[in-house]
Amino acid sequence: MTARVLVVDDVIQNVKLLEAKLTSEYFDVLTAMNGEEALKIIDEEHPDIILLDVMMPGMDGFEVCRRIRSNPKTAHIPVIMVTALDQAKDRVAGIEAGADDFLTKPVSDLPLFARVRSLARLKLLMDELRMRETTSQNFGINMGTDLNQNVNMRNAKVLLVEDYSRVAERISNYMADIAKIDVDAVETGEITAPNLDQYDLFIISLSLNETDGFRLCSQLRSSEITRKIPILVLVEEGEGNQMVKAMELGVSDYITRPVDKNELVARAKSQIRQNRYANSLRRNNQKSIQMAMTDSVTGLYNRHFLSTHLDNLMAKENDKRKKVSLLMMDLDKFKVVNDTYGHISGDEVLKEFADRVTNNIRNIDLAARFGGEEFVIVMPETNLEYARFVADRLCRAIADEPFVISGSETPIRVTVSIGLALAGDKNLSSSKLLVSADTALYKAKENGRNQVMSLD
């Protein structure tokens, strides 16, 4: 995976050194030698990752980082701060300014490549999610909040995997302000804490006595329910290989022992925030997709989705000369229901109708609201006989049991007329199939309603 990295440092030798290292690993490198220049390049070139020196004359790294974060167009770009050796205070200030990660000067290769790759992966995911978010906004679905600035950090839960009880206790105390922390001492050699999907973050020791921390990380990464939860590993000082191996397993971040409280809290917070941000983007995406596809009154698919789906289905089934049956349904004299009980009750009837339809079709059948009180069921690989059987059963499921709704003391009698059409050997287009079912529906209405008709 390649990424465009912007290197910002006021010392030309530092810029050249980082540029050479990153280029050797096939990253695309841009450079800037002061804050103003950096902001200009960020604005014009949209790098994927920014390596930012803290100590610079004029605008220092913290200020540059704050400006990157306060501009909605650049707020999502990962920033790695490059600090002088052992400046724990700088790290905390950096995280408060919005930095995602740190490197200590002189920058060694392993942590540099590990952190840049890890953030490049994260950026890729975020870009994908942000793009889908933009697509939904273009469809007119606006969630209305800048998620990145409104990540809710409350009720965070962290699982610490550490079998040395004194360390576990100390880390728990460090974390107490920002999260509820559970400790798993892996006495059986496995993580036994229940409901792993409840956690915002796993902190895993890589120096466990009885078991292999790498294996635990790898299991968390491969399990469906924990795959997306960030992992922060605790590595021994001077064990660069531990860290690289962990990063290769997909661990999100690491911290070197002895653990500094401020750094731990800052890194944990940053992971939890990023994860919650990604989750809310995912949820928003699902919600937008759902909103774009479904009818809000009945929860069935909407007409737009039905048309697309039907076109795709018929193209596919025509290939295989398979049969598609289609039911066009219309509630009989629904206007009377609306006029008598009002539209809210009318909507209740539509919802109840939709529920009964859903309960009477197979998983492969697709039900959609086509218009006001018109509904369609698409039945792939289904012949006319079976479709008629389902249609008759639906007629009875609607007519036999009056609808109980909140706006009326007595249950309302509802019936439905159904037109049936089959696209089989005739290579019908989806619009002709719909017209054909609609014509059959008209026949059912003319013939006295509450019945099923087809043209064949």
Q: How far apart are CA 41 and CA 262, in angstroms?
A: 32
**Cis-peptide into 57, omega within 30 deg:** no
Considering the complex, what minimum distance in angstroms separates the CB of residue 150 from Mg ion?
Answer: 34
Closer to Mg ion by Cβ: residue 56 or 328: 56
C-beta of 53 vs 330, nearer to Mg ion: 53
Choose the binding region for Mg ion from 48-56, 315-323, 347-355, 362-370 (rule: CB under 5 A): 48-56
Identify which of residues 53 and 101 has a Cβ nearer to Mg ion in the complex: 53
Q: Output the smallest distance, CB 55 to Mg ion, in A.
A: 4
Q: Which is nearer to Mg ion, 38 or 387 (CB)?
A: 38
What is the Cα–Cα distance from 443 to 441, expressed in whole angstroms?
5
Dihedral through CA 112, CA 115, CA 118, CA 122, nearest 10? -120
Contact segment (CB under 5 A) with Mg ion among 30-38, 45-53, 116-124, 212-220 equals 45-53
**Choice between 53 and 352, CB closer to Mg ion:** 53
Q: Minimum Å distance from CB 240 to Mg ion?
A: 24
- Closest approach of Cβ 39 to Mg ion, in Å? 16
| 11 backbone φψ class: left, alpha, beta (φ>0; ψ -120 to 50) | beta
| CB proximity list for 412: less than 8 A, separation 6 or greater | 337, 341, 349, 402, 403, 405
Residues in 5-24 at the binding interface with Mg ion, rule: CB under 5 A = 10
Which residue lies nearer to Mg ion by CB, 9 or 348? 9
Site residues (CB under 5 A) for Mg ion, limited to 126-165: none
Nearer to Mg ion, 10 or 347 (CB): 10
DSSP state of 260: P
Question: Tokens in use for 394?
Answer: 């639906």
3-state SS class at 21: helix
CB atoms within 10 A of CB 24: 10
Nearest to 440 by CA among 371, 402, 387, 401: 387
**Nearest residue to Mg ion, by Cβ distance, number only:** 55
Number of residues lying near Mg ion (CB under 5 A): 4
Q: Which of 19, 133, 352, 373 is catalytic?
A: 373
Asked whether the beta carbons of 416 and 329 are under 8 A apart, the reply is yes
CA 269 to the chain's CA centroid: 20
Cβ proximity of 161 and 214 under 8 Å:
no
Segment near Mg ion (CB under 5 A), from 46-54, 182-190, 202-210, 342-350? 46-54
347 in contact with Mg ion (CB under 5 A): no
CB of 65 to Mg ion, least distance (A): 14
Q: Could you tell me if residue 190 is left (phi over 0), alpha (psi between -120 and 50 degrees) or otherwise beta?
A: beta
Please, what is the minimum distance in Å from the beta carbon of residue 201 to Mg ion?
Answer: 32
Minimum Å gap between C-beta 312 and Mg ion is: 57
| Residue 86: both structure tokens together | 């052992």
By CB under 5 A, the residues from 365 to 424 that bind Mg ion are none
What pairs with residue 416 in β-bridges?
A: 331
Q: How many CA atoms lie within 13 A of 37 on its CB side?
A: 14
Residue 53 CB, nearest approach to Mg ion (Å): 4
In the residue annotation, 373 being an active-site residue is answered as: yes
- From residue 52 to residue 71, the character string flagging contacts with Mg ion as x (rule: CB under 5 A) and all else as - is -x-xx---------------
Residue 404 CB neighbours (<10 A): 12
Which residue number, 56 or 418, has a Cβ lying nearer to Mg ion? Answer: 56
Sheet holding 201-205, edge to edge: 180-184, 157-161, 201-205, 231-235, 253-256
Separation of alpha carbons 164 and 192, rounded Å: 16
Are 167 and 236 a contacting pair, CB within 8 Å? no
Binding site for Mg ion (CB under 5 A): 10, 53, 55-56
Q: Which residues are known to be catalytic?
A: 373
